[in-house]
């Protein structure tokens, strides 16, 4: 059975390991190299585990890291942040990763639900999340959670 909870300082090594694996998977995805070259913070923040460290664990007002467990073992992680803009608070899903062997059992959905509860609690009017082109699994997970594409960026290389 899946269970989601806030990450604590004691989870830092496990969270770091999961984020490293997420970054490795994402680095191979179509579009990742271009986004990295452009310095897109969306991919940099989740792919670089040093950006999410023990200071993110536990009670925070503006950001959260969640651990997703299956049968008591941490197999997934999700991170989100509340940003303030002229339109009010905006939730930003920085990433959601589940180990390949633990996918399709509800952990990813439970992690996203946990993030949505955090964003709702912080009165976010909207939530943004990204998926790289070709990352069908992330796109399907986000769409199943109610996300809809609102911007598609197309690219053409001249090299």
Q: Is residue 159, in this structure, part of any structural domain at all?
A: no
Are β-strands 63-70 and 88-98 bridged in parallel, bridged antiparallel, or unpaired? Answer: unpaired
Q: Cα(45)–Cα(48) distance, rounded to whole angstroms?
A: 6
Q: Is residue 38, in this structure, part of any structural domain at all?
A: yes
Contacts of 119 (CB under 8 A, 6+ apart): 80, 82, 89, 91, 127
Q: Is residue 157, in this structure, part of any structural domain at all?
A: no
What would the pLDDT profile of 23-63 be if each residue is shown by its tens digit? 888 777 666 655 555 554 444 444 444 456 666 666 668 89
Predicted confidence at residue 42, as pLDDT, reads 47
Q: Is residue 109, in this structure, part of any structural domain at all?
A: yes
What would the pLDDT profile of 96-124 be if each residue is shown by its tens digit? 999 999 999 999 999 999 999 999 999 99
Please return the burial class of 104, using the count of CB atoms within 10 Å of its CB with bins 0-12, 13-18 and 19+.
exposed
Whichever domain contains 116, its CATH number is 3.40.630.30
Q: Is residue 154, in this structure, part of any structural domain at all?
A: no
The domain tally of the chain equals 1
What would the pLDDT profile of 1-25 be if each residue is shown by its tens digit? 789 999 988 898 899 899 888 888 8
Q: Is residue 52, in this structure, part of any structural domain at all?
A: yes
Predicted confidence at residue 136, as pLDDT, reads 83
What would the pLDDT profile of 65-107 be if each residue is shown by its tens digit? 999 999 999 999 999 999 998 889 999 998 899 999 999 999 9
Predicted confidence at residue 44, as pLDDT, reads 42
Q: Is residue 151, in this structure, part of any structural domain at all?
A: no
Confidence of residue 132 (pLDDT cuts 50, 70, 90): confident
80: containing domain: 2-144
Q: Is residue 17, in this structure, part of any structural domain at all?
A: yes
Predicted confidence at residue 49, as pLDDT, reads 44
């Amino acid at each position: 059975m899946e269970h989601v909870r806030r990450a604590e300082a004691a989870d830092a090594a496990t969270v770091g390991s999961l984020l490293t694996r997420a970054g490795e998977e994402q680095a191979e995805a179509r579009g990742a190299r271009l986004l990295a070259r452009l310095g897109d913070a969306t991919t940099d923040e989740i792919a670089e585990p040093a950006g999410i460290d023990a200071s993110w664990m536990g009670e925070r007002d503006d950001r959260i890291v969640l651990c997703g467990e299956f049968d008591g073992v941490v197999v997934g992680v999700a991170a989100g942040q509340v940003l303030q803009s002229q339109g009010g608070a905006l939730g930003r899903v920085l990433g959601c990763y589940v180990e390949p062997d633990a996918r399709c059992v509800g952990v990813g959905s439970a992690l996203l639900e946990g993030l949505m509860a955090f964003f709702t609690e912080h009165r976010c009017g909207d939530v943004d999340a990204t998926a790289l082109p070709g990352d069908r699994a992330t796109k399907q997970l986000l769409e199943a959670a109610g996300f809809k594409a609102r911007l598609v960026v197309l690219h053409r290389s001249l090299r």
